[in-house]
């Protein structure tokens, strides 16, 4: 029997890594940060404890990796909508549509939930704090000018655009939390419902 080639070994490593991270997404979503263990991730992945430990020596390591991935995925969703060349209210509608389609279904909702856990349960992981702070600033930098332009357009309610952006994001975060425990929660939610917090 010939030894495995480099390409085959790399493929096996990639598959194992994906099994571990997908399992970790599910476990963190089910048990939360403090209830998750490497053993639970190992059991969910179907791989040995030793192999999971080889890739991630602690649950903190895998959690940090997942949060970083979640921040990238989430930011891309916002960029996808807000960089389109269209009137401000149409941008906000597209953002609401994109969030419902891309962030609150499938694995994406678990990534979103992981990100929320980092905001509420990962205080001791100080290495995450700069990434989260930077991500939050970039989101506000993207959304607030569109809200201001929408106010100038006469379609967004009057008020502090930063506070309005916070209200919109809070609604999105609330939907993400509910969608983890109720698979059909996103079905009746429409872009119009999300936009009501901004609508004049």
DSSP string, the chain: -PPPPHHHHHHHHHHHHHHHHHHHHHHHHHHHHHH--HHHHHHHHTS-HHHHHHH-SSHHHHHHHHHHHHHHHHHHHHHHHHTSSS-HHHHHHHHHHHHHHHTSSHHHHHHHHHHHHHHHH-TT-GGGHHHHHHHHHHHHHHHHHHHHHHHHHT-B-SS-HHHHHHHHHHHHHHHHHHHHH-TTTTSS--HHHHHTTTB-
The reported pLDDT for the residue numbered 182 is 61
Q: With contact defined as beta carbons under 8 Å apart, do 148 and 59 qualify?
A: no
Greater confidence, 107 or 99?
99
Q: Minimum mean pLDDT among 6-20, 41-55, 64-78, 97-111: which range?
A: 97-111
The reported pLDDT for the residue numbered 1 is 45
| pLDDT at 2 exceeding the cut of 50 | no
The reported pLDDT for the residue numbered 156 is 96
The reported pLDDT for the residue numbered 34 is 87
Domain 1-57, CATH homologous superfamily name and number = Homeodomain-like (1.10.10.60)
How far does Cα 23 stand from its chain's mean position?
16
Greater confidence, 58 or 116?
58
Give 106-123 pLDDT, tens digit per residue. 777 788 888 877 877 656
Which regions of the chain carry the CATH code 1.10.357.10? 64-195
Radius of gyration (Cα) for the chain, nearest Å? 19
Residue of 153, 152, 191, 154 whose CA lies nearest to 171: 191
Q: Find which of 48-62, 86-100, 147-161 is predicted with most confidence, using mean pLDDT.
A: 147-161
Q: Which fold has domain 64-195?
A: Tetracycline Repressor; domain 2 (1.10.357)
The reported pLDDT for the residue numbered 139 is 92
The reported pLDDT for the residue numbered 180 is 63
Q: Minimum mean pLDDT among 24-33, 115-124, 151-160: which range?
A: 115-124
Which regions of the chain carry the CATH code 1.10.10.60? 1-57
């Amino acid at each position: 029997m010939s030894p495995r080639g480099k390409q085959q070994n790399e493929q096996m490593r990639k598959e194992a890594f994906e099994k571990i991270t997908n399992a970790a997404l599910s476990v963190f979503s089910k048990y939360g940060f403090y209830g998750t263990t490497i053993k639970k991730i190992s059991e969910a992945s179907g791989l040995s404890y030793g192999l999971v430990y080889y890739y991630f020596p602690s649950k903190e390591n895998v959690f940090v990796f997942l949060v970083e991935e979640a921040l990238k995925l989430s930011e891309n969703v916002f960029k996808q909508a807000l960089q389109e060349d269209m009137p401000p209210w149409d941008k906000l509608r597209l953002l609401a549509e994109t969030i419902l389609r891309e962030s609150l279904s499938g694995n994406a909702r678990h990534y979103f939930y992981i990100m929320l856990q980092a905001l509420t349960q990962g205080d001791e992981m100080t290495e995450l704090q700069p990434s989260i702070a930077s991500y939050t600033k970039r989101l506000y930098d993207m959304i607030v000018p569109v809200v201001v332009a929408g106010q100038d357009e006469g379609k967004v309610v009057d008020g502090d655009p930063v506070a309005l952006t916070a209200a919109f994001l809070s609604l999105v975060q609330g939907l993400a939390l509910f969608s983890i425990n109720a698979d059909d929660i996103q079905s009746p939610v429409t872009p119009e419902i999300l936009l009501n917090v901004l609508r004049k």
